[in-house]
Structure 1
Amino acid sequence: MSRIEPLPFMPEAVVFDMDGLMLDSERAIIDCLARAAAETGHPLEQALWLSMVGLGDAVCREMLVERLGADDAQALLQRSQALYEARVDAGVPHRPGIVALLDWLQQRAIPRAVATSTRRPLALRKLRAAGLLHRFDAVCTSSDVASPKPAPDVYLLAASRLGVAPARCLVLEDSPTGVRAALAAGMTPVQVPDMLAPDAAARALGHRIVDSLDDALRLLDARFVG
């Protein structure tokens, strides 16, 4: 487990990112993008796909339009979407430790929400196929807010729907983009990196970083009283 300070408070709610945090979907998304790029005659470097981790659909689209032009970017994205939807319908695998963590929170009646950059229809579809939708009191998506992460909007909406002050919410995120959104919302983020190791700029944010969701659960369990 990473060397970190204990949580300064017992959260009254926990808000979860989805892709790369609960679901092993970042790898699936990047694989589908890379396959679609190759199939449409535009093989692009892995670094570009990694730079999209944690960003909203509109931002990723603009990055591809800048590289390829509008028509080629649209063709690539349509092919990638078709490949990815087949993966979603099969059920995207869980990230290790998510079920045990959700069990722990549910047993203690701690409210739970999802705050994701994915659009609402796809987010619900992914959570349902993965058997996780019923585990949450609220699902907040980029469809529900004006600005995606790193803006705080989706996290502030989650706190509002749970009826818990942002300062009393713990956020679990895998990406620096999501961590910045949580900090901007006045919440306490714990990062569980997936595909991207935190760089110096991310570490300078001063938030807690752990190696796994099992470690995040140990943080909560150590703080829990009663």
Structure 2
Amino acid sequence: MSAVAPLPFRPEAVLFDMDGLMLDSERAINACMAQAARELGHDVPDTLWLRMIGGGEGLCRRLLAGHIGDAAGVALLAHAEVLYDAVADAGIDHRPGVVALLEWLIARGMPRAVATSTRRPLAMRKLAAAGLLPYFDAVCTSSDVQRPKPAPDVYLLAASTLGVAPALCLVLEDSPTGVRAALAAGMTPVQVPDLLAPDETTLALGHRIVASLDDARLLLEARLAA
């Protein structure tokens, strides 16, 4: 943590990505994608699933179309969705530290919103099944905006819904795609990487990167105590 620069402002809201940040869902998603590919007879490298992290359905379709064709990609996504629905409805494990962070923010009256690339019906089911839905003042999804991440739309909607200026929002993200969305929205992102370690291109963005949500809370504690 000593190498991470202090926050340059006092946040008035904290915006959370969902998959990979709060829920340990990226591994589950990748497993369902790989299972669907096997069951449909497609040879798809594991690296392709990693490239989809943080993006919306459009990105997934484009990546699959480039590898197995558009129609096959659509069919694979549909089959993976059925597999993943069962996993989501059973409740996906939390990422370490998320509940402690949310409870800490609530105790300090800090507004909180979810801003996710997942479509609304699935996002709401996942948050509810995981017991996280009551912790948030708003949930904004890819169903609610025209453009998914890395466009800033879902983060701008979250800020507007909370009534907080974008420049006063702190964003917590796990993926480079989400970090770019937050930066495009004029917000300050803190990245908590999960499956994707930051590469040179991501590091060049110049944002803060921490090892865990507990470390993100320490950043917030230091700034709010100042």
Calculate the TM-score normalised by the size of structure 2.
Answer: 0.97
1:222 aligns with 2:222: yes
| 8 Å contact kept, 2:61–2:73 | yes
Q: Which runs of 5+ in 1 are unaligned?
A: none
8 Å Cα contact 2:151-2:184 kept in structure 1? yes
Alignment of structure 1 residues 1-226 onto 2, 5 Å: 1=1, 3-225=3-225
Unaligned runs of 5+ in 2: none
> Deviation digits for residues 27-54 of structure 1, max 9, x if unmatched?
1000100011011100211111101100
1-structure distance, mates of 2:209, 2:66? 33
Deviations 1:73-108 (A, max 9, x none): 222122211110110011011000000000000000
**Distance (Å, rounded) in 1 between the aligned partners of 2:71 and 2:95:** 35
Alpha-carbon offset, residue 2 of structure 1: 6.4
Cα pair 1:2 1:211 within 8 Å, conserved: no
SS at structure 2 position matched to 1:23: coil
Distance 1:180 1:78, change over 3 A: same
Distance 1:3 1:47 in 2: 30
Q: Deviations over 1:117-163 (max 9, x none)?
A: 00111110100000001111110001111111111010000000000
Structure 1 length normalisation: TM-score?
0.97
Q: Does the 8 A contact of 1:140 with 1:157 survive in 2?
A: yes
Shift >6 Å, 4+ stretches: none
Q: How many residues matched?
A: 226
> How far apart, CA to CA, are the structure 2 residues paired with 1:222 and 1:90?
37
Alpha-carbon RMSD: 1.1
